[in-house]
């Protein structure tokens, strides 16, 4: 190795250490600041959600939400929370057969200081699905006072799915009684691998 390369490598290491020692500290008490990746993505303005509420889901008409990922290297990381005031079943499917996409909805940016950042994953309510296809997640849930549960995993955000590119996914909630109040909240953050 020549001397200039060593000097440049040393300089990069010094810059990185200065960042760790100065930029990653609280400005008031100088304590080190650490947040998890999902929280960081909110701050970056690339974390999105949409709160679906349907007050009248019936036995013969399951509630469907369609997500359509872009054909790009960007990755969509998905978790889904669901709730109902009666007994219900929630499922997540990959590669369904979609005959009508439904009504487009726009994901809300979780960082309200940058709401102009929009998700590249498309979101539709009440699509017409003729074949559910590959089931990725399943959960029976519901009942008065039970609250929302995470379809994609109960423990933490780590129970997420990294969605395939250029693919359709549907969230399906089937109820056991007419006029069931259902809530569905898909949460995604989008990152491009470096």
pLDDT tens-digit profile of 88-98?
999 999 999 99
- Residues 116 and 173 placed together within one structural domain of the fold: yes
pLDDT band at 4 (very low <50, low <70, confident <90, very high): very low
The answer to whether residue 187 is domain-embedded is: yes
Q: Any idea what the CATH number is for the domain that residue 61 is in?
A: 2.60.120
One domain, residues 57 and 22: no
Q: What is the pLDDT of residue 183?
A: 92
CB contact at 8 A, 3 and 11: no
Residues 12-45: tens digit of each pLDDT: 777 766 666 666 666 666 666 666 777 778 778 8
Domain limits for position 20: 1-34
With residues binned 3-state (H G I as helix, E B as strand, rest as coil), the percentages for the chain, rounded to 5, are 15, 45, 40
The distance between the two most distant Cα atoms of the chain, rounded to a whole number of Å, is 76
| pLDDT tens digits for range 49-102 | 999 999 999 999 999 999 999 999 999 999 999 989 899 999 999 999 999 999
Buried b (16+ CB within 10 A) or exposed e, 111-132: eeeeeebebbbbbbbbbebeeb
> Is 151 within a domain?
yes
- Residue 25 shares a structural domain with residue 75: no
Structure tokens at 177: 């009684």
The CA angle 41-182-127, to the nearest 5 degrees, is: 75
**9 in the same domain as 63:** no
Tell me the pLDDT tens digit for each residue of 120-169. Answer: 999 999 999 999 999 999 988 876 656 566 665 554 445 789 999 999 99
The phi and psi torsions of 159 (rounded to 5 degrees) equal: -85, 55
Determine the 3-state secondary structure of 157 from DSSP: coil
Q: What pLDDT does 193 receive?
A: 83
* 101 and 166 housed in the same domain: yes
Q: Is the dihedral of CA 78, 83, 84, 90 positive or negative?
A: positive
The answer to whether residue 43 sits within a structural domain is no
pLDDT above 90 covers what percent of the chain?
A: 56
Residue 63 within a domain: yes
Work out how many domains the chain is built from and give that number: 2
Structure-model confidence comparison of residues 113 and 40, the more confident one: 113
**Do 168 and 77 share a structural domain?**
yes
**What pLDDT score does 166 carry?**
98
Q: Are residues 106 and 131 in the same domain?
A: yes
Identify whether 42 is part of a domain.
Answer: no
Q: Is residue 173 scored above 60 in pLDDT?
A: yes
Both 117 and 73 in a single domain? yes
Q: Are residues 93 and 175 in the same domain?
A: yes
What is the rounded CA–CA span in Å between residue 81 and residue 186? 6
Residues 65 and 30 in one domain: no
Per-residue model confidence (pLDDT) at position 116? 81
* Together in a domain, 71 and 139: yes
Q: Which pLDDT score is estimated for 1?
A: 42
Helices (H), the chain: 3-18, 37-44
In a domain, 40, yes or no: no
With beta carbons less than 8 A apart as the criterion, state whether 192 and 73 touch: yes
Q: How far apart are CA 162 and CA 153, in angstroms?
A: 13
Q: Is residue 41 part of a domain?
A: no
Who wins on pLDDT, 174 or 4? 174
Q: Is residue 170 domain-resident? A: yes
Same domain? 76 vs 21 = no
């Amino acid at each position: 190795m020549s001397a200039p390369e060593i000097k440049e490598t040393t300089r990069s290491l010094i810059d990185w250490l200065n960042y760790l020692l100065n930029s990653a500290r609280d400005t008031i008490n100088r304590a080190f600041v650490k947040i998890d990746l999902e929280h960081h993505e909110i701050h970056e303005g690339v974390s999105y959600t949409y709160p679906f509420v349907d007050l009248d889901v019936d036995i013969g008409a399951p509630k469907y939400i369609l997500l359509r990922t872009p054909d790009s290297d960007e990755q969509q990381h998905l978790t889904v929370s669901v709730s109902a005031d009666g007994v219900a079943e929630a499922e997540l499917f990959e590669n369904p057969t979609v005959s009508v996409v439904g009504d487009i909805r726009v994901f809300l940016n979780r960082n309200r200081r940058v709401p102009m950042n929009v998700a590249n994953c498309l979101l539709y309510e009440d699509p017409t699905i003729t074949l559910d296809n590959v089931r990725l997640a399943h959960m029976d849930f519901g009942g008065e006072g039970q609250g929302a549960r995470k379809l994609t995993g109960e423990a933490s955000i780590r129970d997420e799915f990294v969605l395939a590119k250029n693919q359709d996914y549907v969230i399906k909630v089937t109820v056991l009684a007419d006029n069931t109040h259902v809530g569905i909240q898909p949460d995604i953050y989008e990152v491009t691998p470096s």
